[in-house]
Structure 1
Amino acid sequence: MQIDTILHTFHEHFQGEPLIAKAPGRVNLIGEHTDYNDGFVLPAAIDKEMVFALAKNNTGTVRAYALDLKEHGEFSLESLQVQSGWINYLIGVVAEMKKRGVKIEGFDAVFSSDVPLGAGMSSSAALECALGTGLNHLFAGELNQQEIALSAQAAEHNYAGVKCGIMDQFASTFGKAGHVIKLDCRSMSWEYIPLDISGYKLVLCDTNVAHSLASSEYNIRREQCEVGVQILQQYYPEIKNLRDVTIAMLEKHCEEFDATIYQRCSYVVKENNRLENACQSLQAGDLEALGQLMYGSHAGLSHAYEVSCEELDFLVDQTRDNPQVVGARMMGGGFGGCTINLVKEEAVDTFIFDLREAYMQAFGKEMKAYTVVTGDGARIGE
């Protein structure tokens, strides 16, 4: 990310000396669609970031310039109403931080990102967390990292209309280079687990398919999980959500479930179990076992949770007989975006070339690829 370009652009459009705030995108090694069921996730911040330049402007207006889109936007602090387009994310962050006591005044902003849009690396969370971290500093707010992440999540809920879990914003805020975060989405407790993949690389293969269904279907999946919980609560009143459910409970009462609801619930319960096993595999240095759990996760997402698509399934299937790949799965909300692949380091270039060729032949479109490494979370400074 070219900080100099962002600063130069700020000085072209606005006055003052801005502070710089950054927040990264994220990958999720395993544990998809578990966060809003109060389960576990295993994300990591990556070396692709959203960067904001921010300065007070001594007015009651927020003026912003989206450098990558070359678009201006502004809004009054007196009217934080839902709008359309990218400005809505800024409005949401400002509104949610004001609710939490940060005395936000008018400011100017220029922002830019190298987090790919629509690829499942959570560019929206990177934007929310970078802005939230910057505003908390600029206006002497007293929010801690967790409160910034929760403000960002609330902005997504109330202004973008996506009832996401906390994973994306938490990873973007709390990321630590060289580690994944095992996050308990119920208690918000977490631990850093070293990600030692020496000799391997994380490669993201982008279907170049816009996941236009993801937001609406995401909310439907959430509702379906809630229906399953309501059925089981008749017999197990202590259950609050699928985090508390076992496969034995589901099987005992399977006849009372619609087939689709049963599939959704069983996926979430099994995915939580896979994540626990993945942590053990990482701590034992058993990447082969980790890879098999990744394949199991994809199978569940594709067949039981039904959030994959033909292109994602194709990319994963292409890796299954490749000895240079130990694991692969779709990543993110689904219906497009990326697969995440654990590939031997010396084979990365060949892997990407061959998969691109196969993808072009099958679908007549380009497959983008990104090799990522873990990075640090949201912070102030260049």
Structure 2
Amino acid sequence: MCIADKVNERFMALYHTTPLLILSPGRVNIIGEHTDYNDGFVLPAAIDKKIALAIAPSGSGRCTVHAAALEDSFSFDCREEVRPAEGWKNYILGVVHHLQQRGYRIDGFNAVFDGDIPIGSGLSSSAAVEGAFSFGLTQVFGLDAERFELALIGQQAEHTFVGVNCGIMDQFANLHGRKNQLIRLDCRDLSYVYVPFNFPGYKIVLCNTMVHHSLASSAYNERRRQCEEGVKVLRDHYPEVKSLRDVTPAMLEEHKTALDSTVYRRCRYIVEETERVVAACACLEKDDLLGLGRLMDATHDGLSGDYEVSCPELDYLVSLARPRSEVIGSRMMGGGFGGCTINIVEADAVKDFSDHITDAYTRQYGKRPDIYVTTIEEGTHAVSYPPAP
């Protein structure tokens, strides 16, 4: 039974009515990590790992949400002020709060959700939950909110209810994904273009360290603070600089001594990574997959060395992948400190690659890594509607 069928069945058992079903994907990011909150470029895509949400009006102001995977539920009254709670509940509460703050009328609802996005893997399960609920609420209550606005609402929920000062990439990719397309998103003005990823002889393979991270950890917010510190210093010399997006490698090097050494290395990674995303799109336009792979490798080296958001397990997985002839590129993906590596692998060699990674990693760390062969799919969408009354 697929996840959508499972949540539909659980919903009807709990609430005895037919829900609207929403599928909300996780995402991969081919290149461009930590550039989003620095006004840079990213290159994400929605994937076939997803959150499934069943939702319907409750007929009152009462809202009840059941997380099937956790066997946990909570209720609140949306006619009263919505306040932060604890844990996973804040992803939903934050979305409801910010929809209301923008003037949208939310009545009571019942919901059940579940998913196959591994938590803490760097595939952005949190944005998938936010996208599922924001889109689902617009559908069941007839709200005239565009996907662009829903992405901003998800980001606001992270900032104010979850406590993660994240960029916009995850929520944007979740809501704007298209099958077999990457999204080159300009995080400064949120303009975007679709970039085809048309390489049928290759697969995107994710290797999960099984090390769970938390983007709410102080390390993520500390990196952002360090980037802002670098911008502040550089702005004294270049008043036009509003973010690291405006800084060239030459500008950074000229004023290296004015920066704390750690802040300098953080800024160097971001400045170089922004340029790598532009170069990666040029490679894709020329069908230069090898060039893309070299850029992915450089991204990992920067994340591990200058930005220091990798971990021994991620570095080990990359070290296993890079020497293999079937691997075009390999790097850690996501916020860091755990989660997955993303690898572009020849399709015919995926099994050999997976077996090699699994055997070596299990011997090294005593735990078996999960491996996902992903496809690029549509963004958040409804798969069925309740019958008209």
TM-score calculated relative to the size of structure 1: 0.98
Q: Which runs of 5+ in 2 are unaligned?
A: 385-389
Q: Distance in 1 between matches of 2:215 and 2:188?
A: 27
Query: Comparing 10-19 with 100-109, which one deviates more in the overlay?
Result: 10-19
Please, which of 252, 256, 259 is the counterpart of residue 257 of structure 1?
Answer: 259
Q: Distance in 2 between matches of 1:138 and 1:70?
A: 24
Q: How does 1:157-176 map to 2 (within 5 A)?
A: 157-176=159-178
Show the counterpart of 2:348.
346
Q: Distance in 2 between matches of 1:152 and 1:215?
A: 19
Q: CA deviation at 1:198?
A: 1.9
Show the counterpart of 2:46.
45
What is the one-letter code of the residue matched to 2:3?
A: Q
What is the one-letter code of the residue matched to 2:30?
A: L
Show the counterpart of 1:281.
283
Please, which of 360, 363, 366 is the counterpart of residue 361 of structure 1?
Answer: 363
SS at match of 2:360: helix
SS at match of 2:217: helix
Query: What root-mean-square deviation, in Å, do the aligned CA atoms of Structure 1 and Structure 2 show?
Result: 1.0
SS at match of 1:351: helix
Q: Does structure 1 retain, via aligned residues, the 8 Å contact 2:215–2:335? A: no
Q: Does structure 1 retain, via aligned residues, the 8 Å contact 2:29–2:334? A: yes
Please, which of 188, 191, 205 is the counterpart of residue 189 of structure 1?
Answer: 191
Q: CA deviation at 1:252?
A: 0.6
Q: Does structure 1 retain, via aligned residues, the 8 Å contact 2:106–2:141? A: yes
1:307-358 per-residue CA deviation (whole Å, 9 max, x = no partner) reads 0000000000111210010100000000000000000101101111111111
Q: Distance in 2 between matches of 1:359 and 1:277?
A: 32
Show the counterpart of 2:141.
139
Q: How does 1:8-87 map to 2 (within 5 A)?
A: 8-77=9-78, 78-87=80-89
Q: CA deviation at 1:214?
A: 6.1
What is the one-letter code of the residue matched to 2:336?
A: G
SS at match of 2:111: strand
Whether 1:336 and 2:338 are equivalent positions in the alignment is yes
Show the counterpart of 1:223.
225
Q: Distance in 2 between matches of 1:348 and 1:214?
A: 34
1:37-86 per-residue CA deviation (whole Å, 9 max, x = no partner) reads 01000000001111111111122221011111121111222131111122
Q: Distance in 1 between matches of 2:383 and 2:100?
A: 23
Q: Does structure 1 retain, via aligned residues, the 8 Å contact 2:104–2:143? A: yes
Query: Comparing 220-229 with 312-321, which one deviates more in the overlay?
Result: 312-321
What is the one-letter code of the residue matched to 1:264?
A: R
TM-score calculated relative to the size of structure 2: 0.96
Q: Distance in 1 between matches of 2:34 and 2:353?
A: 28
Q: CA deviation at 1:140?
A: 1.3
SS at match of 2:110: strand
Q: CA deviation at 1:213?
A: 6.7
Q: Does structure 2 retain, via aligned residues, the 8 Å contact 1:298–1:329? A: yes
Q: Does structure 2 retain, via aligned residues, the 8 Å contact 1:74–1:87? A: no
1:99-131 per-residue CA deviation (whole Å, 9 max, x = no partner) reads 112100110001111111111100000010011
Query: Comparing 64-73 with 25-34, which one deviates more in the overlay?
Result: 64-73
Q: Distance in 2 between matches of 1:215 and 1:177?
A: 33
What is the one-letter code of the residue matched to 1:174?
A: H
Q: Distance in 2 between matches of 1:2 and 1:298?
A: 33
What is the one-letter code of the residue matched to 1:192?
A: Y
Q: Does structure 1 retain, via aligned residues, the 8 Å contact 2:38–2:244? A: yes
Point out 4+ residue stretches in structure 1 off by more than 6 angstroms: none
SS at match of 2:335: coil
SS at match of 1:237: coil
Query: Percent identity, aligned pairs only?
Result: 49
Q: Distance in 2 between matches of 1:101 and 1:377?
A: 25
Q: CA deviation at 1:17?
A: 2.1
Show the counterpart of 1:370.
372
Q: Distance in 2 between matches of 1:215 and 1:93?
A: 21
SS at match of 1:81: coil
Q: Does structure 2 retain, via aligned residues, the 8 Å contact 1:214–1:333? A: no
Q: Distance in 2 between matches of 1:56 and 1:89?
A: 19
Count of aligned pairs between the two proteins? 382
SS at match of 1:381: strand
Q: Distance in 2 between matches of 1:143 and 1:101?
A: 11
Query: Comparing 204-213 with 335-344, which one deviates more in the overlay?
Result: 204-213
Q: Distance in 1 between matches of 2:353 and 2:383?
A: 36
Q: Does structure 1 retain, via aligned residues, the 8 Å contact 2:297–2:329? A: yes
Q: CA deviation at 1:215?
A: 3.1
What is the one-letter code of the residue matched to 1:166?
A: I
Q: Distance in 2 between matches of 1:4 and 1:275?
A: 38
